[in-house]
Structure 1
Amino acid sequence: MIRRFLQRFYLVLIFILLYSPIVTLMVLSFNSSKSRSKWGGFTLKWYERLFQNDQIMSALYTTLLIALLSALIATLIGTAAAIGIHSMKKKYRTVMMGVTNIPMLNADIVTGISLMLLFIAFRFSLGFSTILIAHITFNIPYVILSVMPKLKQTNVSTYEAALDLGASPLYAFFKVVFPDILPGVSSGFLLAFTMSLDDFIITHFTKGPGVDTLSTKIYSEVRKGIKPEMYALSTLLFLSVLLLMILVNLAPDEKKGRHPAASGVSKRQAVSTFVLKKVVPAVMILLITISGVFYASRDKLSSDNQVIVYNWGEYMDPQILELFEKETGIQVVYEEFETNEIMYPKIQSGAIAYDVVCPSDYMIQRMIQNDLLAEIDYTNIPNIKNIGQTYLDQSRQFDPENKYSVPYCWGTVGILYNKTMVTEPVTSWSILWDPKYKNNILMQDSVRDAFGVALKYLGYSLNSTDLDELEAAKALLLKQKPLIQAYVIDQVRDKMIGNEAAIGVIYSGEAIYTQSENPDLEYVIPQEGSNVWIDSWVIPKNAKHKKNAEAFINFLCRADIAKMNFDYITYSTPNEAARELIKDEAIRNSPVAFPSAQQLENCETFNFLGEKNDRIYNQMWREVKSR
């Protein structure tokens, strides 16, 4: 009795562990609130928005199309290769099989980086074609290893007999050999298709701007905070797989040459067999055909009349891109990054020719020093007149002659706290080291922001290069680590809205949004001072559409567009004409969005500290994160 109970308890526990995350995800897909910890009522709007979301739909189409094409081509090449290897002498066959196994044993990251470097060396433009080539490359060994066992089982004498009877080699192969190896070919195709659908690492290194698969799209969403539309998509994918599994298990085991009805199979089983064998393949072919038509009709990745934009995640109203395309006829290829440190290597490598990028102050300084930026022709940006002179003057700290950058957004880094969880006044960074708030503190997952907080708390400059001061900051961050709930980037916003933490280090623009969602949240710039930052638009030196980039920057500087963007992202705008359009006086004069000179008295702008000091910062940050 006890044994049976334990067996059932164990089974129930396994099911809970396996399926509770999926059930949670499905429930969230019907939650009208964006917060994961707050139920806002039942809704289907996320499913509606899913099919209206061009980026997610494009990622789905790309995934299906690449998976099918790469599987088909890899199956053809792999089958031919397997036949060739099988016909070799034993010692050569052994060598070739060893070579075939190497890509499968190799780490995906090595394969991905190797292929990326190969494409760059041959001056391939990273995009759809490079992903397809990469997927074909890593799929071929799986096909070879699926077909080889079946080739070993074939009877060579039967093939030779067909030749003796007058059949051509090709006819004999398809009539005698191919039927025997077909199960291996089918298995290879399905394995290649599955591996392609599931791949992330190799795709990540070989993709270009404007091209995403579901894996890379989901990864980028996780880094900046998953949108509810992704819950809806994941729910639909799970239900699709579940339906296929049910059909597979309901399908009867038919004897060869017999109709289901002849063997006493029920009508329901016959229907499920029909659906599995006829409808499902037809639906797959239809989806792939739609994907092909979608790509055939899309010219964003090949047209010269385009602008390739590289911006922070959730840092522009999507409608602005549509308005720009409609008004100018210039197509926008839009890609996002999470940190300056992720963005910089892609610009430095020159692997992708972005036309306009939005780095932060110190990174712009670094890019200027390394001759990565083109001078902007301000005759093509008449709307620069709307940018306040104060912000142009501040920009001279990293762009001395204002030759390379146009201010886009600005703000501060401060503390966001929940007034129901934190009762004492918050005026200092010291609260981030208070043991009372253990597991209730969110810290920025950014080397300069994290060290900036520690350095300012210690009374040092956030641009310090003194090793003793940096070691002291590192020791302080290590002391803080046991108190930290998580190192986050954009996720701090959702966690604070959902009351999942008491205190978080956050950018002022995010603070404005969180306060609109949760009135218990308060933002403060600590008395020790902080970082005042400016994100600006720049044009890389290898940009292929410089005039289009300048037209894009000019469009964003237009007062109504800058106001529209401010309403969406809630980050402070340097556009004085746009600020005048803000009707709500409380927002127009908000101390969070537009702090006073007194609040900014001890604040500094990040500077680029040189490659050597940059390595020191990164090494120390790795030590903090790894301990």
Structure 2
Amino acid sequence: MRRATLSRRAALGAAGLLGLGSLSACGIPAAYVPEERRSATDRSERDKKLTFSNWTQYIDVDKAGKRPTLEEFQRRTGIDVTYTEDINDNDEFFGKISPVLAQGGDPGRDLMVISDWMAGRYVALGWVQTLDRANLPNVTKYLDPQLSHPAFDPERSHSVPWQSGLTGIAYNRKTLGREIKKTSDLWAPDLKGRVTLFAGMDEALGLLMLANGADIARFTTDDAHKAMSQVQKLVDTKHIRRFTGNDYTSDLASGAAVACQAYSGDAIQLKAQNPDIEFVVPEEGAELWAESLMIPNRADHKVNAEKLIDYYYQPEVAAELAAFVQYICPVPAAREVLAKSEDPDTAALADEPLMFPGDEIRARLRTMRDVSAAERPGLHQIWGQVAGV
């Protein structure tokens, strides 16, 4: 079984215009939450249950429609998991849960998976609990070092990666007739009208700034403005076919686009359907990102949630999950488990660089810092005009 192609990093909608300062104007405290809201009386031992909110098709599913790794967790621990696929868009979910968290209410879930650029907002607002590292020995031992210190949560004290991925370039090599090696190759004259970029600023900007030599871990507003100005010129000359959400895959598959910004997890599926599709980590670098597990304030079953987080960091379990979702596995040790599989297709995944990047690719991966609350309104206004969103 393989997951259907589905991108997680949904483009920012209207709610994404709200920086932390804007939230204060809406009556939501920007950086202060009374201490009594930060944690609840944990009922893990008494209740033996937890509620887990995730994106669709982001966990292993067998032919019978069951979730093998999740069912095994329940069997081992006796913890009953209510698993809900109620996250469709970062902003939409934030809009659903923020009024409850802002008032210190029960969020109705003990664990949630949030894209890192949005996870930073929850951390800054003080709306997620501090993880007890003593309950996470597998995380401490096996977490990919390259994902261990994001700018929004330097010690991973509030978040743990669920899955990770790259933003790079996908293209049809047969149609183009040559290789793409750098982001600037997208601007070649013969690609006019045949290139797509992501509509979401947080999704598109990192790769564009890297192309200009910017350090996206410390980018300045000038770096962002320079990249957006370049894209505006490409829009004016109709070089950009359009700005996309998750539907960029259909443009590439149909031939409407020849090259595009793309996610590594999708590229594996696209290439399986069409061997002429290639995914490129540009010479100047690509953006490494993650979606992370977080425990919201007032969650009733924090210890149970931490048990589930640590369970998925066992290499054997991480390998089973990775074989299905086919994003970058945050547990590099899972590669050895897959390599020993008796199923040739599964064993071959151990050599898939878009799941387990080697040193040469890793050297070109960069993690983008968050767009701050002060920067977001101005940058998003300009990007909205450029991308028409």
TM-score category by the smaller chain?
Answer: 0.7 to 0.9
Residue in structure 1 matched with residue 331 of structure 2 by the alignment: 575
Residue in structure 2 matched with residue 110 of structure 1 by the alignment: none
Q: Distance in 1 between matches of 2:186 and 2:133?
A: 44
CA contact (8 A) 2:196 2:243 kept: yes
Instruction: Classify 1:521/1:626 alpha carbon distance in 2 versus 1 (closer, same or farther; 3 Å).
Output: closer
More strand by share: 2
Q: Superposed, which structure 2 residues align to 1:233-244 within 5 Å? A: none
What SS does the corresponding residue of 1:582 show, helix, strand or coil?
helix
Q: Which amino acid aligns with 1:561?
A: V
Q: Superposed, which structure 2 residues align to 1:344-383 within 5 Å? A: 344-350=94-100, 352-383=107-138
Instruction: Classify 1:323/1:440 alpha carbon distance in 2 versus 1 (closer, same or farther; 3 Å).
Output: farther
CA contact (8 A) 1:452 1:462 kept: yes
Q: Superposed, which structure 2 residues align to 1:445-460 within 5 Å? A: 445-460=199-214
Alignment equivalent of 1:443, drawn from 183, 197, 201: 197
Alignment equivalent of 1:470, drawn from 224, 227, 234: 224
Q: Superposed, which structure 2 residues align to 1:574-613 within 5 Å? A: 574-583=330-339, 586-613=348-375
Unpaired segments of 5 or more residues in structure 1? 1-33, 36-120, 122-303
Unpaired segments of 5 or more residues in structure 2? 6-26, 28-46, 62-66, 102-106, 340-345
More helix by share: 1
Residue in structure 2 matched with residue 616 of structure 1 by the alignment: 378
Residue in structure 2 matched with residue 427 of structure 1 by the alignment: 181
2:379 corresponds to 1:625: no
Residue in structure 1 matched with residue 12 of structure 2 by the alignment: none
Q: Give the CA RMSD over aligned residues.
A: 3.1
Residue in structure 1 matched with residue 11 of structure 2 by the alignment: none
CA contact (8 A) 2:199 2:387 kept: no
Instruction: Classify 1:321/1:484 alpha carbon distance in 2 versus 1 (closer, same or farther; 3 Å).
Output: farther
Q: Which amino acid aligns with 1:601?
A: A
CA contact (8 A) 2:143 2:330 kept: yes
2:232 corresponds to 1:493: no
Q: Distance in 1 between matches of 2:116 and 2:71?
A: 28
Cα distance, 1:338 vs structure 2: 4.5
CA contact (8 A) 1:367 1:373 kept: yes
Cα distance, 1:389 vs structure 2: 5.3
Residue in structure 1 matched with residue 153 of structure 2 by the alignment: 399
Q: Distance in 1 between matches of 2:254 and 2:52?
A: 32
Cα distance, 1:570 vs structure 2: 0.5
CA contact (8 A) 1:395 1:534 kept: no
CA contact (8 A) 2:173 2:179 kept: no
CA contact (8 A) 1:386 1:576 kept: no
CA contact (8 A) 2:53 2:109 kept: yes
Identical pairs, percent: 26
Instruction: Classify 1:435/1:345 alpha carbon distance in 2 versus 1 (closer, same or farther; 3 Å).
Output: farther
Greater relative contact order, per chain length (Cα 8 Å cut-off, separation 6+): 2
Cα distance, 1:382 vs structure 2: 4.1
C-alpha offsets along residues 13-32 of structure 1, whole Å, 9 cap, x if unaligned?
A: xxxxxxxxxxxxxxxxxxxx
CA contact (8 A) 1:465 1:613 kept: no
Q: Superposed, which structure 2 residues align to 1:259-298 within 5 Å? A: none
Q: Which amino acid aligns with 1:470?
A: A
Q: Superposed, which structure 2 residues align to 1:148-159 within 5 Å? A: none
Alignment equivalent of 1:331, drawn from 81, 94, 112: 81
2:315 corresponds to 1:553: no
CA contact (8 A) 1:527 1:602 kept: yes
CA contact (8 A) 1:532 1:600 kept: no
Instruction: Classify 1:353/1:431 alpha carbon distance in 2 versus 1 (closer, same or farther; 3 Å).
Output: farther
Q: Which amino acid aligns with 2:226?
A: A
What SS does the corresponding residue of 1:598 show, helix, strand or coil?
helix
CA contact (8 A) 1:531 1:603 kept: yes
Cα distance, 1:495 vs structure 2: 4.1
Q: Superposed, which structure 2 residues align to 1:118-157 within 5 Å? A: none
Instruction: Classify 1:609/1:537 alpha carbon distance in 2 versus 1 (closer, same or farther; 3 Å).
Output: same
Q: Distance in 2 between matches of 1:497 and 1:559?
A: 34
